[in-house]
Structure 1
Amino acid sequence: MAKGRFRSPAHPVPAPAAPCRYLTQADRLHIADRLREKATVRSIAAELGRSPSTISREIRRNGIPLRGDISRLAYRPYAAQARADARKPRPKQGKISQLPRLRNYIQERLTRRWSPEQIAAQLPRDFPDDLEMRVTPETIYQALYVQGRGELRRELARALRTGRARRKPQRHAARRQPRFATPMVMISERPAEAADRAVPGHWEGDLIVGPGHRSAIGTLVERSTRYVMLLHLPDGAHRAEHFHQVLARTIQTLPSHLKRSLTWDQGTEMAGHGAFTLATDIPVYFCDPASPWQRGSNENTNGLLRQYFPKGTDLSVHNPDHLAAVTAELNGRPRKMLDWDTPAERLTKLLTAS
Protein backbone atom coordinates (compact mmCIF):
# COMPACT_ATOMS: atom_id res chain seq x y z
CA MET A 1 0.00 0.00 0.00
CA ALA A 2 1.29 3.46 -0.87
CA LYS A 3 2.74 5.71 1.83
CA GLY A 4 0.20 7.87 3.64
CA ARG A 5 -2.63 5.36 3.31
CA PHE A 6 -4.17 3.30 6.10
CA ARG A 7 -1.77 1.25 8.22
CA SER A 8 -2.62 -2.00 10.01
CA PRO A 9 -3.86 -1.59 13.61
CA ALA A 10 -1.67 -2.61 16.57
CA HIS A 11 -3.90 -5.66 17.10
CA PRO A 12 -5.11 -6.70 13.64
CA VAL A 13 -8.62 -8.02 13.32
CA PRO A 14 -8.40 -11.47 11.72
CA ALA A 15 -10.45 -11.61 8.57
CA PRO A 16 -12.76 -14.61 8.86
CA ALA A 17 -13.36 -16.85 5.89
CA ALA A 18 -16.57 -15.60 4.33
CA PRO A 19 -18.65 -16.28 1.25
CA CYS A 20 -17.84 -14.13 -1.76
CA ARG A 21 -21.08 -12.19 -1.32
CA TYR A 22 -19.61 -10.46 1.75
CA LEU A 23 -17.22 -7.54 1.56
CA THR A 24 -13.71 -8.50 2.66
CA GLN A 25 -11.13 -6.47 4.55
CA ALA A 26 -9.32 -5.88 1.25
CA ASP A 27 -12.56 -4.51 -0.21
CA ARG A 28 -12.93 -2.15 2.75
CA LEU A 29 -9.36 -0.90 2.37
CA HIS A 30 -10.08 -0.18 -1.29
CA ILE A 31 -13.27 1.69 -0.38
CA ALA A 32 -11.43 3.84 2.19
CA ASP A 33 -8.59 4.68 -0.19
CA ARG A 34 -10.95 5.63 -3.02
CA LEU A 35 -13.12 7.75 -0.72
CA ARG A 36 -10.02 9.70 0.27
CA GLU A 37 -9.46 10.29 -3.44
CA LYS A 38 -13.04 11.63 -3.77
CA ALA A 39 -14.18 8.76 -6.00
CA THR A 40 -17.91 8.27 -6.44
CA VAL A 41 -19.80 5.35 -4.96
CA ARG A 42 -20.66 4.11 -8.45
CA SER A 43 -17.05 4.07 -9.60
CA ILE A 44 -15.96 2.22 -6.43
CA ALA A 45 -18.73 -0.31 -6.96
CA ALA A 46 -17.65 -0.87 -10.56
CA GLU A 47 -14.04 -1.41 -9.50
CA LEU A 48 -15.06 -4.02 -6.92
CA GLY A 49 -17.68 -5.68 -9.11
CA ARG A 50 -20.42 -4.81 -6.62
CA SER A 51 -23.74 -3.03 -6.70
CA PRO A 52 -23.60 0.71 -5.84
CA SER A 53 -26.20 0.04 -3.14
CA THR A 54 -23.80 -2.43 -1.50
CA ILE A 55 -21.09 0.23 -1.23
CA SER A 56 -23.41 3.01 -0.03
CA ARG A 57 -24.95 0.68 2.57
CA GLU A 58 -21.48 -0.34 3.77
CA ILE A 59 -20.44 3.31 4.26
CA ARG A 60 -23.69 4.13 6.02
CA ARG A 61 -23.67 1.12 8.35
CA ASN A 62 -19.99 1.00 9.20
CA GLY A 63 -18.90 4.62 8.90
CA ILE A 64 -18.22 6.78 11.97
CA PRO A 65 -20.18 10.05 12.48
CA LEU A 66 -17.78 12.94 12.01
CA ARG A 67 -17.70 15.14 15.15
CA GLY A 68 -21.06 13.71 16.19
CA ASP A 69 -22.77 14.76 12.95
CA ILE A 70 -24.54 11.68 11.58
CA SER A 71 -24.93 13.38 8.18
CA ARG A 72 -21.13 13.30 7.76
CA LEU A 73 -19.37 9.94 7.97
CA ALA A 74 -15.68 9.08 8.22
CA TYR A 75 -14.93 5.61 6.87
CA ARG A 76 -12.21 3.67 8.71
CA PRO A 77 -11.65 0.27 7.05
CA TYR A 78 -10.41 -1.70 10.06
CA ALA A 79 -13.11 -0.32 12.33
CA ALA A 80 -15.65 -1.10 9.62
CA GLN A 81 -14.36 -4.68 9.41
CA ALA A 82 -14.64 -5.07 13.20
CA ARG A 83 -18.25 -3.80 13.12
CA ALA A 84 -19.15 -6.20 10.31
CA ASP A 85 -17.55 -9.15 12.15
CA ALA A 86 -19.44 -8.27 15.32
CA ARG A 87 -22.74 -8.62 13.50
CA LYS A 88 -21.95 -12.06 12.10
CA PRO A 89 -22.24 -14.43 15.09
CA ARG A 90 -25.13 -16.85 14.64
CA PRO A 91 -27.71 -17.97 15.44
CA LYS A 92 -29.71 -14.81 15.88
CA GLN A 93 -33.30 -14.65 16.98
CA GLY A 94 -35.47 -14.06 13.93
CA LYS A 95 -38.18 -11.48 13.57
CA ILE A 96 -40.99 -14.04 13.53
CA SER A 97 -39.93 -15.55 16.84
CA GLN A 98 -39.69 -12.10 18.45
CA LEU A 99 -43.26 -11.11 17.52
CA PRO A 100 -45.89 -13.65 18.69
CA ARG A 101 -48.64 -11.70 16.91
CA LEU A 102 -46.80 -11.97 13.60
CA ARG A 103 -45.99 -15.64 14.19
CA ASN A 104 -49.62 -16.51 14.96
CA TYR A 105 -50.81 -14.62 11.87
CA ILE A 106 -48.42 -16.54 9.62
CA GLN A 107 -49.14 -19.92 11.19
CA GLU A 108 -52.88 -19.47 10.92
CA ARG A 109 -52.63 -18.74 7.18
CA LEU A 110 -50.15 -21.51 6.49
CA THR A 111 -52.69 -23.86 8.06
CA ARG A 112 -55.19 -22.52 5.49
CA ARG A 113 -52.65 -23.39 2.77
CA TRP A 114 -51.67 -19.84 1.90
CA SER A 115 -48.26 -19.54 0.26
CA PRO A 116 -45.51 -17.44 1.91
CA GLU A 117 -45.80 -14.97 -0.96
CA GLN A 118 -49.55 -14.56 -0.41
CA ILE A 119 -49.02 -14.04 3.33
CA ALA A 120 -46.30 -11.42 2.77
CA ALA A 121 -48.53 -9.55 0.31
CA GLN A 122 -51.55 -9.60 2.63
CA LEU A 123 -49.77 -8.25 5.73
CA PRO A 124 -49.57 -4.60 4.53
CA ARG A 125 -53.25 -4.74 3.57
CA ASP A 126 -54.34 -6.02 6.98
CA PHE A 127 -51.91 -3.81 8.95
CA PRO A 128 -51.32 -0.70 6.82
CA ASP A 129 -50.03 1.40 9.76
CA ASP A 130 -48.09 -1.27 11.63
CA LEU A 131 -44.61 -1.55 10.17
CA GLU A 132 -43.72 -4.38 12.54
CA MET A 133 -46.21 -6.60 10.72
CA ARG A 134 -44.07 -6.92 7.64
CA VAL A 135 -42.13 -9.93 6.46
CA THR A 136 -40.73 -11.22 3.17
CA PRO A 137 -41.61 -14.62 1.70
CA GLU A 138 -37.98 -15.70 2.14
CA THR A 139 -38.16 -14.97 5.88
CA ILE A 140 -41.16 -17.30 6.16
CA TYR A 141 -39.37 -20.02 4.23
CA GLN A 142 -36.33 -19.62 6.48
CA ALA A 143 -38.50 -19.89 9.59
CA LEU A 144 -40.00 -23.12 8.25
CA TYR A 145 -36.95 -24.87 6.91
CA VAL A 146 -33.81 -23.71 8.76
CA GLN A 147 -33.21 -26.22 11.53
CA GLY A 148 -32.71 -24.95 15.05
CA ARG A 149 -34.65 -21.70 14.61
CA GLY A 150 -38.00 -23.03 15.76
CA GLU A 151 -39.83 -19.90 14.64
CA LEU A 152 -42.69 -21.79 12.97
CA ARG A 153 -43.95 -25.32 13.51
CA ARG A 154 -42.11 -27.64 11.15
CA GLU A 155 -45.27 -29.57 10.30
CA LEU A 156 -46.63 -26.43 8.63
CA ALA A 157 -44.17 -27.04 5.78
CA ARG A 158 -46.48 -29.90 4.76
CA ALA A 159 -49.19 -27.31 4.05
CA LEU A 160 -47.04 -25.70 1.33
CA ARG A 161 -47.86 -26.70 -2.23
CA THR A 162 -44.61 -28.63 -2.59
CA GLY A 163 -45.23 -30.51 0.67
CA ARG A 164 -41.47 -30.86 1.15
CA ALA A 165 -40.05 -31.44 4.62
CA ARG A 166 -36.76 -30.01 3.39
CA ARG A 167 -36.11 -27.14 1.10
CA LYS A 168 -34.83 -27.91 -2.37
CA PRO A 169 -31.43 -26.23 -2.77
CA GLN A 170 -31.04 -23.73 -5.58
CA ARG A 171 -27.91 -24.18 -7.64
CA HIS A 172 -25.75 -21.09 -8.09
CA ALA A 173 -25.38 -20.20 -11.76
CA ALA A 174 -21.61 -19.80 -11.46
CA ARG A 175 -21.30 -23.29 -9.94
CA ARG A 176 -23.32 -25.20 -12.52
CA GLN A 177 -21.61 -28.20 -14.04
CA PRO A 178 -21.19 -28.13 -17.83
CA ARG A 179 -24.41 -29.52 -19.29
CA PHE A 180 -22.84 -31.37 -22.21
CA ALA A 181 -19.43 -32.88 -22.95
CA THR A 182 -19.19 -30.69 -26.06
CA PRO A 183 -19.35 -27.02 -24.97
CA MET A 184 -22.52 -25.18 -25.95
CA VAL A 185 -22.46 -22.16 -28.26
CA MET A 186 -25.02 -19.73 -26.89
CA ILE A 187 -27.66 -17.85 -28.85
CA SER A 188 -25.84 -14.57 -28.24
CA GLU A 189 -23.25 -15.76 -30.78
CA ARG A 190 -25.82 -16.63 -33.45
CA PRO A 191 -25.39 -14.60 -36.69
CA ALA A 192 -27.46 -11.43 -36.96
CA GLU A 193 -28.98 -12.71 -40.21
CA ALA A 194 -30.75 -15.40 -38.18
CA ALA A 195 -32.14 -12.92 -35.68
CA ASP A 196 -33.77 -10.63 -38.26
CA ARG A 197 -35.13 -13.54 -40.37
CA ALA A 198 -33.76 -11.92 -43.54
CA VAL A 199 -31.96 -15.04 -44.73
CA PRO A 200 -33.69 -18.44 -44.92
CA GLY A 201 -32.14 -21.61 -43.58
CA HIS A 202 -32.07 -20.86 -39.86
CA TRP A 203 -34.15 -23.37 -37.89
CA GLU A 204 -35.55 -23.65 -34.38
CA GLY A 205 -36.20 -27.02 -32.78
CA ASP A 206 -37.69 -28.73 -29.75
CA LEU A 207 -39.50 -31.84 -28.57
CA ILE A 208 -43.14 -32.20 -27.61
CA VAL A 209 -43.30 -35.03 -25.09
CA GLY A 210 -45.86 -37.49 -23.84
CA PRO A 211 -46.59 -38.66 -20.28
CA GLY A 212 -43.51 -39.48 -18.25
CA HIS A 213 -41.26 -38.43 -21.15
CA ARG A 214 -41.71 -41.95 -22.55
CA SER A 215 -42.67 -40.73 -26.03
CA ALA A 216 -41.90 -37.64 -28.08
CA ILE A 217 -42.13 -35.96 -31.47
CA GLY A 218 -39.36 -33.68 -32.74
CA THR A 219 -40.34 -30.32 -34.22
CA LEU A 220 -38.37 -28.07 -36.57
CA VAL A 221 -39.47 -24.62 -37.78
CA GLU A 222 -37.69 -22.49 -40.37
CA ARG A 223 -37.54 -18.94 -39.05
CA SER A 224 -38.25 -16.94 -42.21
CA THR A 225 -40.96 -19.11 -43.82
CA ARG A 226 -42.36 -20.83 -40.67
CA TYR A 227 -42.12 -24.11 -42.56
CA VAL A 228 -42.55 -27.07 -40.21
CA MET A 229 -40.87 -30.47 -40.19
CA LEU A 230 -41.77 -33.26 -37.73
CA LEU A 231 -39.42 -36.00 -36.57
CA HIS A 232 -40.78 -39.48 -35.96
CA LEU A 233 -39.08 -40.79 -32.80
CA PRO A 234 -40.07 -44.43 -32.15
CA ASP A 235 -38.82 -46.62 -29.31
CA GLY A 236 -36.89 -44.09 -27.27
CA ALA A 237 -35.28 -42.36 -30.27
CA HIS A 238 -35.69 -39.07 -28.40
CA ARG A 239 -32.94 -40.16 -26.00
CA ALA A 240 -29.64 -38.34 -26.39
CA GLU A 241 -27.72 -41.35 -27.75
CA HIS A 242 -30.06 -41.68 -30.77
CA PHE A 243 -31.71 -38.31 -31.24
CA HIS A 244 -28.85 -36.50 -32.99
CA GLN A 245 -28.80 -39.24 -35.65
CA VAL A 246 -32.53 -38.90 -36.39
CA LEU A 247 -32.18 -35.12 -36.46
CA ALA A 248 -29.23 -35.29 -38.86
CA ARG A 249 -31.06 -37.65 -41.26
CA THR A 250 -34.09 -35.35 -41.34
CA ILE A 251 -32.27 -32.08 -41.88
CA GLN A 252 -29.93 -33.52 -44.52
CA THR A 253 -32.93 -33.85 -46.86
CA LEU A 254 -32.84 -30.06 -47.27
CA PRO A 255 -30.87 -28.18 -49.96
CA SER A 256 -27.60 -26.64 -48.76
CA HIS A 257 -28.86 -23.02 -48.77
CA LEU A 258 -31.57 -24.02 -46.28
CA LYS A 259 -29.10 -25.52 -43.79
CA ARG A 260 -27.48 -22.56 -42.05
CA SER A 261 -28.08 -22.99 -38.29
CA LEU A 262 -30.21 -24.66 -35.66
CA THR A 263 -31.38 -23.10 -32.37
CA TRP A 264 -32.44 -25.39 -29.51
CA ASP A 265 -33.14 -25.19 -25.81
CA GLN A 266 -30.86 -26.93 -23.31
CA GLY A 267 -32.78 -30.21 -23.25
CA THR A 268 -30.76 -33.35 -22.62
CA GLU A 269 -31.78 -34.78 -26.01
CA MET A 270 -29.18 -32.46 -27.58
CA ALA A 271 -26.21 -33.93 -25.70
CA GLY A 272 -24.97 -35.19 -29.08
CA HIS A 273 -25.01 -31.75 -30.69
CA GLY A 274 -21.29 -31.98 -31.46
CA ALA A 275 -21.80 -35.19 -33.47
CA PHE A 276 -24.79 -33.60 -35.22
CA THR A 277 -22.68 -30.62 -36.32
CA LEU A 278 -19.90 -32.89 -37.55
CA ALA A 279 -22.37 -34.91 -39.62
CA THR A 280 -24.27 -31.96 -41.11
CA ASP A 281 -21.91 -28.97 -40.89
CA ILE A 282 -24.80 -27.07 -39.24
CA PRO A 283 -23.90 -25.09 -36.08
CA VAL A 284 -26.21 -25.46 -33.09
CA TYR A 285 -26.97 -22.43 -30.89
CA PHE A 286 -28.48 -22.89 -27.44
CA CYS A 287 -31.04 -20.65 -25.75
CA ASP A 288 -30.46 -19.28 -22.28
CA PRO A 289 -32.09 -21.26 -19.44
CA ALA A 290 -35.84 -20.68 -19.01
CA SER A 291 -36.00 -18.42 -22.09
CA PRO A 292 -38.53 -20.03 -24.48
CA TRP A 293 -39.15 -16.69 -26.23
CA GLN A 294 -35.68 -17.02 -27.79
CA ARG A 295 -37.17 -19.67 -30.06
CA GLY A 296 -40.58 -18.06 -30.38
CA SER A 297 -41.50 -19.50 -33.80
CA ASN A 298 -40.99 -23.01 -32.49
CA GLU A 299 -42.93 -22.34 -29.26
CA ASN A 300 -45.84 -20.98 -31.28
CA THR A 301 -45.76 -23.99 -33.59
CA ASN A 302 -45.71 -26.42 -30.67
CA GLY A 303 -48.86 -24.75 -29.41
CA LEU A 304 -50.52 -25.34 -32.80
CA LEU A 305 -49.35 -28.95 -32.80
CA ARG A 306 -51.11 -29.63 -29.50
CA GLN A 307 -54.37 -29.47 -31.50
CA TYR A 308 -53.22 -32.70 -33.12
CA PHE A 309 -51.20 -34.17 -30.24
CA PRO A 310 -52.97 -33.21 -26.96
CA LYS A 311 -50.97 -33.05 -23.76
CA GLY A 312 -51.07 -36.19 -21.67
CA THR A 313 -51.47 -38.53 -24.66
CA ASP A 314 -49.08 -41.24 -25.84
CA LEU A 315 -47.21 -39.80 -28.84
CA SER A 316 -45.72 -43.12 -29.91
CA VAL A 317 -49.04 -44.12 -31.54
CA HIS A 318 -48.52 -41.59 -34.35
CA ASN A 319 -46.78 -43.20 -37.32
CA PRO A 320 -44.69 -41.37 -39.96
CA ASP A 321 -47.64 -41.13 -42.37
CA HIS A 322 -49.76 -39.37 -39.77
CA LEU A 323 -46.92 -36.95 -38.98
CA ALA A 324 -46.56 -36.22 -42.71
CA ALA A 325 -50.28 -35.47 -42.95
CA VAL A 326 -50.13 -33.09 -39.97
CA THR A 327 -47.07 -31.39 -41.44
CA ALA A 328 -48.81 -30.88 -44.79
CA GLU A 329 -51.87 -29.43 -43.09
CA LEU A 330 -49.86 -26.97 -41.00
CA ASN A 331 -47.68 -25.90 -43.91
CA GLY A 332 -50.82 -25.39 -46.02
CA ARG A 333 -52.42 -22.88 -43.61
CA PRO A 334 -52.26 -19.21 -44.68
CA ARG A 335 -50.32 -17.16 -42.15
CA LYS A 336 -50.96 -13.49 -41.41
CA MET A 337 -47.27 -12.88 -40.69
CA LEU A 338 -46.52 -14.13 -44.23
CA ASP A 339 -49.05 -11.75 -45.84
CA TRP A 340 -51.44 -14.72 -46.00
CA ASP A 341 -49.05 -16.91 -47.94
CA THR A 342 -48.66 -20.43 -46.64
CA PRO A 343 -45.31 -21.72 -45.35
CA ALA A 344 -45.31 -24.24 -48.20
CA GLU A 345 -45.73 -21.45 -50.77
CA ARG A 346 -42.90 -19.43 -49.23
CA LEU A 347 -40.58 -22.44 -49.23
CA THR A 348 -41.50 -23.26 -52.85
CA LYS A 349 -40.59 -19.72 -53.88
CA LEU A 350 -37.19 -20.08 -52.23
CA LEU A 351 -36.54 -23.41 -53.92
CA THR A 352 -37.66 -22.10 -57.31
CA ALA A 353 -35.50 -18.98 -56.99
CA SER A 354 -32.45 -21.06 -56.16
Structure 2
Amino acid sequence: VRLLRCGVSPEQISARLRFLYPDNEGMNISHESIYQALYVQGAGSLRQELKVEKALRSGRTSRIPRSRLAGVITRGNKSWVHGAEISLRPPQAEDRGIPGHWEGDLAIGKQGASALITLVERKSRFALIRRLSASHDSPTVISALIEMVSSLPTEVKTITWDQGSEMANVKDLKIAHPVDVFFADPHSP
Protein backbone atom coordinates (compact mmCIF):
# COMPACT_ATOMS: atom_id res chain seq x y z
CA VAL A 1 0.00 0.00 0.00
CA ARG A 2 2.84 2.36 0.91
CA LEU A 3 4.53 1.78 -2.45
CA LEU A 4 1.32 2.44 -4.36
CA ARG A 5 0.88 5.71 -2.47
CA CYS A 6 4.43 6.68 -3.50
CA GLY A 7 3.61 6.17 -7.18
CA VAL A 8 5.28 2.79 -7.70
CA SER A 9 3.50 0.75 -10.36
CA PRO A 10 2.02 -2.69 -9.63
CA GLU A 11 4.57 -4.20 -12.06
CA GLN A 12 7.44 -2.64 -10.11
CA ILE A 13 5.99 -3.81 -6.79
CA SER A 14 5.65 -7.36 -8.07
CA ALA A 15 9.23 -7.37 -9.39
CA ARG A 16 10.57 -5.92 -6.13
CA LEU A 17 8.84 -8.57 -4.03
CA ARG A 18 10.21 -11.35 -6.26
CA PHE A 19 13.70 -9.88 -5.87
CA LEU A 20 13.47 -9.42 -2.07
CA TYR A 21 11.79 -12.79 -1.37
CA PRO A 22 12.84 -15.20 -4.14
CA ASP A 23 12.24 -18.34 -2.04
CA ASN A 24 9.06 -17.25 -0.28
CA GLU A 25 6.00 -17.81 -2.52
CA GLY A 26 3.77 -16.28 0.15
CA MET A 27 5.47 -12.92 -0.33
CA ASN A 28 5.11 -12.88 -4.13
CA ILE A 29 2.12 -11.43 -5.94
CA SER A 30 1.54 -10.78 -9.60
CA HIS A 31 0.91 -7.28 -10.85
CA GLU A 32 -2.40 -8.53 -12.25
CA SER A 33 -3.54 -9.49 -8.73
CA ILE A 34 -2.76 -5.96 -7.54
CA TYR A 35 -4.76 -4.46 -10.39
CA GLN A 36 -7.65 -6.84 -9.67
CA ALA A 37 -7.66 -5.81 -6.01
CA LEU A 38 -7.82 -2.16 -7.06
CA TYR A 39 -10.39 -2.37 -9.83
CA VAL A 40 -12.71 -5.22 -8.88
CA GLN A 41 -15.25 -4.10 -6.32
CA GLY A 42 -15.65 -7.43 -4.54
CA ALA A 43 -11.98 -7.65 -3.54
CA GLY A 44 -12.17 -4.38 -1.70
CA SER A 45 -9.49 -4.60 1.00
CA LEU A 46 -6.93 -2.70 -1.06
CA ARG A 47 -9.60 -0.51 -2.58
CA GLN A 48 -10.79 0.54 0.88
CA GLU A 49 -7.30 1.60 1.91
CA LEU A 50 -6.56 3.50 -1.27
CA LYS A 51 -8.44 5.63 -3.68
CA VAL A 52 -7.76 4.16 -7.10
CA GLU A 53 -6.94 7.61 -8.45
CA LYS A 54 -4.18 7.97 -5.85
CA ALA A 55 -2.90 4.42 -6.15
CA LEU A 56 -2.17 4.41 -9.86
CA ARG A 57 0.10 6.87 -11.58
CA SER A 58 -2.24 7.11 -14.55
CA GLY A 59 -5.14 8.24 -12.36
CA ARG A 60 -7.54 5.99 -14.27
CA THR A 61 -10.52 4.66 -12.38
CA SER A 62 -11.15 1.75 -14.74
CA ARG A 63 -9.09 -0.59 -16.87
CA ILE A 64 -8.41 -0.04 -20.54
CA PRO A 65 -9.83 -2.85 -22.70
CA ARG A 66 -7.26 -5.08 -24.41
CA SER A 67 -8.89 -4.41 -27.75
CA ARG A 68 -10.12 -1.15 -29.19
CA LEU A 69 -13.21 -3.08 -30.28
CA ALA A 70 -14.12 -4.17 -26.74
CA GLY A 71 -17.63 -3.11 -25.88
CA VAL A 72 -18.63 -2.89 -29.52
CA ILE A 73 -21.32 -5.47 -30.05
CA THR A 74 -22.07 -6.47 -33.59
CA ARG A 75 -25.75 -6.89 -34.28
CA GLY A 76 -25.46 -9.42 -37.11
CA ASN A 77 -27.47 -12.60 -37.10
CA LYS A 78 -26.18 -13.83 -33.71
CA SER A 79 -29.56 -13.87 -32.03
CA TRP A 80 -28.24 -16.02 -29.16
CA VAL A 81 -25.97 -13.14 -28.03
CA HIS A 82 -28.65 -10.46 -27.64
CA GLY A 83 -29.61 -10.02 -24.00
CA ALA A 84 -26.66 -12.13 -22.82
CA GLU A 85 -23.77 -9.68 -23.28
CA ILE A 86 -20.85 -9.91 -20.84
CA SER A 87 -21.73 -6.46 -19.49
CA LEU A 88 -24.87 -8.06 -18.00
CA ARG A 89 -22.89 -10.77 -16.17
CA PRO A 90 -23.20 -10.45 -12.37
CA PRO A 91 -20.27 -8.78 -10.58
CA GLN A 92 -19.69 -11.94 -8.51
CA ALA A 93 -18.52 -13.68 -11.68
CA GLU A 94 -16.07 -10.91 -12.42
CA ASP A 95 -14.20 -10.82 -9.09
CA ARG A 96 -13.70 -14.59 -8.81
CA GLY A 97 -14.81 -14.47 -5.18
CA ILE A 98 -17.63 -17.00 -5.40
CA PRO A 99 -17.36 -20.44 -7.03
CA GLY A 100 -19.80 -21.56 -9.69
CA HIS A 101 -18.91 -19.13 -12.46
CA TRP A 102 -17.29 -20.81 -15.48
CA GLU A 103 -15.62 -19.78 -18.72
CA GLY A 104 -15.81 -21.99 -21.78
CA ASP A 105 -14.28 -22.21 -25.20
CA LEU A 106 -14.11 -24.44 -28.23
CA ALA A 107 -10.60 -25.14 -29.52
CA ILE A 108 -10.62 -26.44 -33.07
CA GLY A 109 -7.71 -28.52 -34.34
CA LYS A 110 -5.84 -28.39 -37.61
CA GLN A 111 -8.15 -28.30 -40.63
CA GLY A 112 -11.15 -28.70 -38.32
CA ALA A 113 -10.46 -32.42 -37.91
CA SER A 114 -10.84 -32.37 -34.12
CA ALA A 115 -12.12 -30.09 -31.39
CA LEU A 116 -11.96 -29.67 -27.62
CA ILE A 117 -14.46 -28.08 -25.30
CA THR A 118 -12.89 -26.45 -22.26
CA LEU A 119 -14.72 -25.29 -19.15
CA VAL A 120 -12.73 -23.51 -16.42
CA GLU A 121 -14.19 -22.51 -13.05
CA ARG A 122 -13.12 -18.89 -12.44
CA LYS A 123 -12.39 -19.11 -8.71
CA SER A 124 -10.65 -22.48 -8.34
CA ARG A 125 -9.36 -22.71 -11.95
CA PHE A 126 -10.67 -26.29 -12.05
CA ALA A 127 -10.83 -27.32 -15.70
CA LEU A 128 -12.96 -29.79 -17.63
CA ILE A 129 -11.88 -30.76 -21.12
CA ARG A 130 -13.89 -32.84 -23.55
CA ARG A 131 -12.82 -34.03 -26.96
CA LEU A 132 -15.38 -33.93 -29.72
CA SER A 133 -15.57 -36.11 -32.76
CA ALA A 134 -15.07 -34.55 -36.17
CA SER A 135 -18.32 -32.58 -35.85
CA HIS A 136 -18.30 -29.43 -33.76
CA ASP A 137 -21.58 -27.91 -34.82
CA SER A 138 -23.94 -26.29 -32.33
CA PRO A 139 -26.10 -29.34 -31.48
CA THR A 140 -22.99 -31.44 -30.84
CA VAL A 141 -21.30 -28.78 -28.69
CA ILE A 142 -24.45 -28.05 -26.66
CA SER A 143 -25.06 -31.77 -26.10
CA ALA A 144 -21.50 -32.21 -24.82
CA LEU A 145 -21.85 -29.12 -22.60
CA ILE A 146 -25.06 -30.52 -21.08
CA GLU A 147 -23.22 -33.74 -20.22
CA MET A 148 -20.24 -31.83 -18.80
CA VAL A 149 -22.42 -29.60 -16.61
CA SER A 150 -24.48 -32.61 -15.47
CA SER A 151 -21.32 -34.37 -14.30
CA LEU A 152 -20.38 -31.56 -11.91
CA PRO A 153 -21.16 -32.05 -8.22
CA THR A 154 -21.60 -28.30 -7.64
CA GLU A 155 -23.96 -25.70 -9.01
CA VAL A 156 -22.99 -23.95 -12.24
CA LYS A 157 -24.26 -20.38 -11.94
CA THR A 158 -22.88 -18.79 -15.11
CA ILE A 159 -20.90 -19.75 -18.18
CA THR A 160 -19.11 -17.14 -20.26
CA TRP A 161 -18.31 -18.01 -23.87
CA ASP A 162 -17.23 -16.22 -27.03
CA GLN A 163 -19.76 -15.42 -29.74
CA GLY A 164 -19.01 -18.46 -31.91
CA SER A 165 -21.75 -20.17 -33.88
CA GLU A 166 -21.24 -23.35 -31.82
CA MET A 167 -23.43 -21.68 -29.17
CA ALA A 168 -26.37 -20.96 -31.49
CA ASN A 169 -28.47 -23.61 -29.69
CA VAL A 170 -27.66 -22.28 -26.21
CA LYS A 171 -31.37 -22.32 -25.36
CA ASP A 172 -31.17 -26.13 -25.16
CA LEU A 173 -28.47 -25.83 -22.47
CA LYS A 174 -30.62 -23.37 -20.52
CA ILE A 175 -33.58 -25.75 -20.73
CA ALA A 176 -31.50 -28.67 -19.41
CA HIS A 177 -29.83 -26.66 -16.60
CA PRO A 178 -30.72 -23.40 -14.86
CA VAL A 179 -27.48 -21.70 -15.91
CA ASP A 180 -27.03 -18.17 -17.25
CA VAL A 181 -24.81 -18.00 -20.31
CA PHE A 182 -23.06 -14.74 -21.22
CA PHE A 183 -21.06 -13.87 -24.31
CA ALA A 184 -17.81 -11.92 -24.46
CA ASP A 185 -17.51 -8.84 -26.60
CA PRO A 186 -16.21 -9.52 -30.10
CA HIS A 187 -12.44 -9.31 -30.61
CA SER A 188 -11.85 -9.12 -26.87
CA PRO A 189 -10.05 -12.05 -25.20
User: Could you tell me the TM-score, scaled by structure 2's length?
Assistant: 0.58
Q: Residue deviations 1:66-111, cap 9 Å, x none?
A: xxxxxxxxxxxxxxxxxxxxxxxxxxxxxxxxxxxxxxxxxxxxxx
Q: Are 1:204 and 2:109 matched, yes or no?
A: no
* Structure 1 unpaired stretches of 5+: 1-172, 293-354
Q: Check conservation: 2:108, 2:114, Cα contact below 8 A.
A: yes
Partner-residue secondary structure (3-state), 1:284: strand
Cα RMSD over matched residues? 1.9
Q: Deviations over 1:199-219 (max 9, x none)?
A: 001000101111222321111
Question: Which structure has the higher relative contact order (CA within 8 Å, separation 6+)?
Answer: 2
Report the CA distance between 1:181 and its aligned residue.
5.2
Write the letter of the residue equivalent to 2:96: R
1:194 aligns with 2:93: yes
Instruction: Tell me the equivalent position of 1:163.
Output: none
Deviation per residue, 1:10-57 (Å, 9 max, x gap)? xxxxxxxxxxxxxxxxxxxxxxxxxxxxxxxxxxxxxxxxxxxxxxxx
Letter of the 1:272 counterpart = N
- Specify the alignment match of 2:56 in structure 1: none
Residue 177 of structure 1, CA deviation = 2.2
> After superposition, where does 1:122-137 map in structure 2 within 5 Å?
none
Q: What is the match of residue 249 of structure 1?
A: 147
Shift of 1:275: 1.1
Secondary structure at 1:251's aligned position in 2?
Answer: helix
Distance 1:181 1:266, change over 3 A: closer
Mapped contact 1:260–1:282 kept (Cα < 8 A) = yes
- Specify the alignment match of 1:178 in structure 2: 77
Show the 5 A alignment for 1:88-103: none
> Does the residue aligned with 1:242 lie in a helix, a strand or coil?
helix
Shift of 1:174: 8.2
Inter-CA distance 175–210: structure 2 relative to 1 (3 Å threshold): closer
1:37-186 map, 5 Å:
176-180=75-79, 183-186=82-85
- Percent identical among aligned pairs is 38
- The amino acid of 1:223's aligned partner reads R
2:167 matches 1:270: yes
Distance in 2 separating the partners of 1:216 and 1:174:
26
State the Cα distance separating 1:280 from its structure 2 match.
1.1
More strand by share: 2
Structure 2 SS opposite 1:254: coil
The aligned length equals 118
Structure 2: runs of 5+ lacking an equivalent: 1-71
Matched, 1:261 2:158: yes
Give the structure with the higher percent helix.
Answer: 1
The amino acid of 1:250's aligned partner reads: M
Distance in 1 separating the partners of 2:81 and 2:165: 12
